[in-house]
Amino acid sequence: GAGVSQSPSNKVTEKGKDVELRCDPISGHTALYWYRQSLGQGLEFLIYFQGNSAPDKSGLPSDRFSAERTGGSVSTLTIQRTQQEDSAVYLCASSSPRGGASDTQYFGPGTRLTVL
């Protein structure tokens, strides 16, 4: 597709349920990033993929959060046993094949997660 897509655009869930958030990066982009944007806050780095591997998982806030990427394309962020503090907009971004620090990241529209 033309840009990064994410689904669902909105997700309302009950505390304790598991959720899966999906990201489709720009075709050919090997680098993929997940961020969390809480109300009034900046973007919090969660995880980075280069291809299918995640050399940096340091941003995942707890072991309830996990992410995978298969086929070097689609990525899924899973949050288990959701808590109210997980409510936020989850953003995905991808970047050019070089995947270096100077590459421009292209962001998806985000998934707004609300945990009741």
Partner 1 sequence: GDSVTQMEGPVTLSEEAFLTINCTYTATGYPSLFWYVQYPGEGLQLLLKATKADDKGSNKGFEATYRKETTSFHLEKGSVQVSDSAVYFCALAGGFKTIFGAGTRLFVKA
Binding mask 72-91 for partner 1 (x = CB under 8 A): -------------------x
Could you give the CA distance from residue 37 to residue 42 in angstroms, rounded to a whole number? 6
Contact 23, 77 (CB under 8 A): yes
84 HSE (CA, 13 A, CB side): 1
Binding mask 37-76 for partner 1 (x = CB under 8 A): ---xxxxxx--x-x----xx-xx-----------------
Closer Cβ to partner 1, 82 or 91, answer by number:
91
Both tokens of 9, joined, read: 């655009």
* 33 touches partner 1 by CB under 8 A: yes
Contact 72, 30 (CB under 8 A): yes
User: Which positions touch partner 1 (CB under 8 A)?
Assistant: 33, 35, 40-45, 48, 50, 55-56, 58-59, 91, 93, 101-110
